[in-house]
């Protein structure tokens, strides 16, 4: 294989990734008026949201900084190699997963104080209702799943690097891409049930309406699942996950409890928009390209040194760094995809009045950020802000000749 092959492959994968994102992302749907929270949120609602964020953001930001820096410090310093050597475990296929799990565990333990404080704020404002036993269980399960995923990647790449010193990038990229595809496909049936219990929505008028809406939309939906989210939160939500035979439409039990039926219908229509556009599959395919590019880039950085199991912690650090660097682009694409699902919801229901009311009520109940700082918006916002989403509903209504007046002062 020519020495230039990995550089050429990396360049082609980068071009394919940029082209795919550029072509498949819905960059413009409708001209929007300037978002203005004061039009639809009372001063008391805005003050509550600001107070909540003032209390929780220092802790959540500190936790994010810690969870980012700790793997970098361990992986890019002698600490990572010392961790591996200190295990005194052979063979390496056992020592590497233990090292990876150790790095993730240290990171998780160091974020406990800040995460506890953030959880206390969520409990104070009634957004969280879970007990501490469940909170600890969730953290332990997240640690186990994260460690397992990173350990599989590390072992597979190192095994390939030991076998093909100078050409491991090709089978490594293929294996990692297949792993991303497989995890996305299996996630709804293997991972989600570890956190929530799912039941079919009881037979009745609302379930029939959702299935009829899906049929009208041309989206094959055999069932609507209800997640027992109320054991953790009062937040309102719904989502679509998986693709093909594992695709599922899930609504939180909190959403069905007190939300007006017209608003629930709009939420479901939004999720049907994701299903109609195969957003999970498209996102997975972009992830496949991005992962293949990342593995090729990893080869250009480490080459044959990837075969050294003492670099397991460095691999975790590189994954952490890559995740942070990719976040702004991933979030930008995600916001555009979510905006398209909102647009789909409006087209399917033609109900901008309830759409605006729904976005307001969800934002108030979930205490969503109405006007985040620019860096937070780029680093963490996977959805448009509530005022942005309301602006879309208002733009749709105006275009349709039935403007929606501001909610404040109704």
Positions at the binding site for Zn(2+):
270, 274, 338
Phi first, then psi: give them for residue 26, nearest 5 degrees.
Answer: -80, 90
Report CA torsion sign: 300, 306, 311, 314.
positive
Q: What is the DSSP code string of 222-287?
A: ---EEE-GGGTB----EEEE--GGG-EEEEEHHHHHHS-HHHHHHHHHHHHHHHHTTHHHHHHHHH
* Among candidate residues 350, 397, 281, 378, the one with its CA nearest the CA of residue 32: 397
* Cα gap 403→392, rounded to integer Å: 12
Contact 269, 344 (CB under 8 A): yes
Numbered residues of the known binding site: 270, 274, 338
Structural tokens at position 99: 């090292």
Q: Which residues are catalytic?
A: 271, 342
Residue burial 187-225, b: 16+ Cβ < 10 Å; e: rest:
ebeeebeebbeeeebeeeebeeebbebbeebebebeebb
169: enclosing H helix or E strand: helix 169-190
The Cα diameter of the chain in Å comes to 73
């Amino acid at each position: 294989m020519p020495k230039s092959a990995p550089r050429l492959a990396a360049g082609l994968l980068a071009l394919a990734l940029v082209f795919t994102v550029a072509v498949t992302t819905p960059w413009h749907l409708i001209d929007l008026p300037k978002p203005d929270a004061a039009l639809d949120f009372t001063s008391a609602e805005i003050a509550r949201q600001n107070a909540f964020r003032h209390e929780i953001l220092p802790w959540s930001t500190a936790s994010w900084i810690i969870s980012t820096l700790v793997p970098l410090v361990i992986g890019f310093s002698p600490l990572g190699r010392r961790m591996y050597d200190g295990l005194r475990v052979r063979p390496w296929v056992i020592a590497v997963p233990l090292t990876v799990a150790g790095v993730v565990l240290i990171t998780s333990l160091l974020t406990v104080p800040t995460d506890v404080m953030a959880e206390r704020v969520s409990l104070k404002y009634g957004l969280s209702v879970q007990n501490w036993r469940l909170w600890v269980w969730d953290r332990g399960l997240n640690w186990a799943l994260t460690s397992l995923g990173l350990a599989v990647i590390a072992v597979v790449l190192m095994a390939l690097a030991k076998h093909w010193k100078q050409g491991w990038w090709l089978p490594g990229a293929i294996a990692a891409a297949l792993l991303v595809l497989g995890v996305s496909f299996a996630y709804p049936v293997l991972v989600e049930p570890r956190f929530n219990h799912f039941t079919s929505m009881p037979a009745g008028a609302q379930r029939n309406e959702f299935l009829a809406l899906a049929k009208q939309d041309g989206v094959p939906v055999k069932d609507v699942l209800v997640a027992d989210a109320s054991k953790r939160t009062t937040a309102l939500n719904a989502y679509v996950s998986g693709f093909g035979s594992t695709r599922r439409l899930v609504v939180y039990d909190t959403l069905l409890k007190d939300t007006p039926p017209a608003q629930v219908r709009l939420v479901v229509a939004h999720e049907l928009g994701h299903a109609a556009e195969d957003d999970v599959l498209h996102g997975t395919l972009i992830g496949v390209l991005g992962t293949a590019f990342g593995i090729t880039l990893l080869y250009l950085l480490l080459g044959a040194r990837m075969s050294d199991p003492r670099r397991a912690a460095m691999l975790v650090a590189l994954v952490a760094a890559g995740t942070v660097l990719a976040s702004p682009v991933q979030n930008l694409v995600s916001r555009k995809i979510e905006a398209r699902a909102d647009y789909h919801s409006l087209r399917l229901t033609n109900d901008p009045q309830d759409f605006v009311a729904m976005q307001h009520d969800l934002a108030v109940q979930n205490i969503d950020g109405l006007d985040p700082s620019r860096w937070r918006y780029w680093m963490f916002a996977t959805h448009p802000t509530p005022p942005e989403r309301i602006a879309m509903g208002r733009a749709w209504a105006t275009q349709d000749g039935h403007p929606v007046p501001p909610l404040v002062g109704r």
